[in-house]
Chain A
Amino acid sequence: MILSDGEIKAALRRRAIIIDPLPREEQFTTSALDLILGDEILELKTPEELAQEEPAGVERPLIIDPSEIDIRRFLQKYGKPLLRQPDGTYVLPPGKFVLGITREYVELPRRSKIAARVEGRSTLARLGLVVHLTAPTIHSGFPGHIVLEMCNFGGFPLRLQPGRLAICQLIFERVGRVPQSGVKTKYAGQRRLR
């Protein structure tokens, strides 16, 4: 069952869930916790960029074989920071795939018997922003910042503000109760898209 807002807060108080920095009240919804976009966004280099890094005269298909990946070479070879705007934001063009990370460190101690799932947020989804690709599970025992596989499937560039934008939500799973607060979403009761 899914933990309600009150249960998540209780779990935070007894350190059954550890989140650093501690979430503010506005990050909670009835049955999830919003996490904020962290400072770093990385993009994978294009095949053209990778080809330019090959020694002159070398031509070979650039195919990634996950079963033979060397982590250090992979990190050095395929990733690069996404260009940051002078105002500190990032602009994600349509069709762009990047890796983001949450500002918050999340730890789910095993003794807590709590796991979680990363999900997108409805407003961002309506703009075409996907924040995870097929890897939503935060297993019991997990420690760390959560890496987000993000892609802008919409038609417009999106400006992303690290440290401010609630980029995803965490849904904690074990035993659920009636949520302590009412529904906050502005889409409650909607019947039409617009």
Chain B
Amino acid sequence: MNLKAETTLSCMVSLGMFSTERGVVVALPGGRTVSALVDRRSVLVDQEPTPGSEVPGRVRVFVVSSENDSVVLELPQAGFTQGPRLKVPKTLLKQ
């Protein structure tokens, strides 16, 4: 798999606390989720979320390292409950 330094990850997108922000929730295998507030320019959506709603979208991430079946990514901002890095299966990047 030819990994670029920057890629995108599927996520659910809601409005952020400020108008320039978006809330993103990345669903990981096993039912775990990672939530973060990121700048709206770091999110790709077909239509903007409305108050109280969330829409499917993609968040820009950096590829930190790649192993056999997994990849370490870095979100634009740290998550609420963890740092900005997360390890995900490579298959998640294709979705």
Cβ of A72 and Cβ of B54 under 8 Å apart?
A: yes
Residues of chain B at interface, number, CB under 8 A: 28
Q: Beyond A71-B35, A71-B36, A105-B39, is A145–B20 a contact (Cβ under 8 Å)?
A: yes
| A1-57 with Cβ < 8 A to chain B | 38-40, 42
| B16-51 with Cβ < 8 A to chain A | 16-21, 23-25, 35-39, 41-42, 51
Query: Is the CB of A87 closer than 8 A to any CB of chain B?
Result: no
Which of these, B19, B76, B80, contacts A71 with CB under 8 Å?
B80
| B50-70 with Cβ < 8 A to chain A | 51-52, 54, 62
Query: Is the CB of A176 closer than 8 A to any CB of chain B?
Result: no
- Most chain B CB neighbours (cut-off 10 Å) among A66, A71, A101, A141: A71
Cβ of A75 and Cβ of B39 under 8 Å apart?
A: no
CA distance A139 to B19 in the complex (A): 22
CA distance A79 to B62 in the complex (A): 30
A-B contact number at CB 8 A: 69
Residues of chain A at interface, number, CB under 8 A: 25
Query: Is the CB of A85 closer than 8 A to any CB of chain B?
Result: no
CA distance A70 to B34 in the complex (A): 9
Q: Looking across the interface, which residue of chain B has its beta carbon closest to that of A78? A: B17
CA distance A113 to B80 in the complex (A): 25
Cβ of B35 and Cβ of A144 under 8 Å apart?
A: no
Contacts of B16 in A (CB 8 A): 75
Contacts of B9 in A (CB 8 A): none
> Which residues does B use to contact A, with CB under 8 Å?
14-21, 23-25, 35-39, 41-42, 51-52, 54, 62, 74, 76-77, 80-81, 84
